[in-house]
Amino acid sequence: MKVLGIMGSSRRDGNTNDLLDVALKGAADAGAQVEKIILADYQINHIADCKLCRQRGKCINEDDLPIVIDKLLEADVHIWASPVYWYTVSGLVKVLLDRFSCYIYWHTELNFLERMKGKGGAIIAVQEEQGLERAQHLIGCLQLSFEFLKQEFLGFVLGSGGSRGTALKDGEAVKKAYELGRKCAEFALTKK
Ligand SMILES: Cc1cc2nc3c(=O)[nH]c(=O)nc-3n(C[C@H](O)[C@H](O)[C@H](O)COP(=O)(O)O)c2cc1C
């Protein structure tokens, strides 16, 4: 019954982080255990697509990815929080998604795909420009990833970005983030 927030902004105290905290508060108030990881705190290297793990038995990328993967596998719901960077997810988020391929196709002993299946996935996005269509590639990237991973999409919130503190001034987005967190907790509690 755990909800994991994945904070994918380069700014630790930015709008993405603020809205994610609101959602995690909603999840905690609804009875879930919550944890947040700040991707910028971990060293996760770009995928090499080398397949050398097949011969060596381990990844040539000796970084923090295994720590993050363990946290993802342990949680029942993932709330992916990302700013819109160049009309899609941040690089921090994309590099992590790319590295999923190592566990899916080559480094298979963790049974990653099977263990990711059935979890819930939710999205918090922030952007400076106006209009949902400007965030469509961020939302689409994650939503299709949930579909591929056979996870249940629990919803998204799109908040206002720009200077620090902007997102929290939008009461409607704050309310939606809190409610999304509650919904994630309710889903996580069904996995008890
Ligand atoms: C590298 C970069 C790319 C960005 N690209 C976009 C964009 O394509 N569309 C947009 O609306 N805002 C864009 N922004 C603005 C951010 O989405 C906005 O500042 C957001 O608040 C950043 O998230 P944060 O507050 O959590 O740090 C970009 C910002 C950066 C730093």
Share of the chain above pLDDT 90, in %: 86
Q: Which atom, in ligand 1's list, is nearest to the CA of 10?
A: 27
Instruction: Report which residue type is found at 47.
Output: I
Residue 109's pLDDT is: 82
Please list every protein residue whose CB sits less than 6 Å from any atom of ligand 1.
9, 11, 14-17, 83-87, 126-129, 134, 161-162
Residue 161 Cα to ligand 1 midpoint, Å, equals 7
Both tokens assigned to 114: 């099977």
* Higher pLDDT pick, 192 / 180: 180
**Rounded CA separation 6/48 (Å):** 23
**Rounded CA separation 25/47 (Å):** 33
**Rounded CA separation 69/67 (Å):** 6
Q: Which domain holds residue 69?
A: 2-189
Q: To which H or E segment does residue 74 belong?
A: helix 65-74
Average pLDDT, the chain: 96
Domain containing residue 165: CATH number: 3.40.50.360
Residue 11 Cα to ligand 1 midpoint, Å, equals 10
pLDDT tens for residues 9-45?
999 999 999 999 999 999 999 999 999 999 999 999 9
The residue count for the chain? 192
Q: At residue 58, does pLDDT exceed 80?
A: no
Residue 60's pLDDT is: 85
| CA-nearest residue, atom 21 of ligand 1 | 161
Residue 171's pLDDT is: 97
pLDDT tens for residues 148-172?
999 999 999 999 999 999 999 999 9
Residue 62 Cα to ligand 1 midpoint, Å, equals 30
pLDDT tens for residues 105-153?
888 888 999 999 999 999 999 999 999 999 999 999 999 999 999 999 9
Residue 162 CB neighbour total at 10 angstroms = 13
The preferred substitution site among 84, 86, 87 for testing ligand 1, maximizing ligand atoms within 8 Å of CB, is 84
The span from the first CA to the last CA of the chain, in angstroms, equals 5
| CA-nearest residue, atom 24 of ligand 1 | 14
| Domain count across the chain | 1
Residue 124's pLDDT is: 98
Name the pLDDT band for 50 (thresholds 50, 70, 90): confident
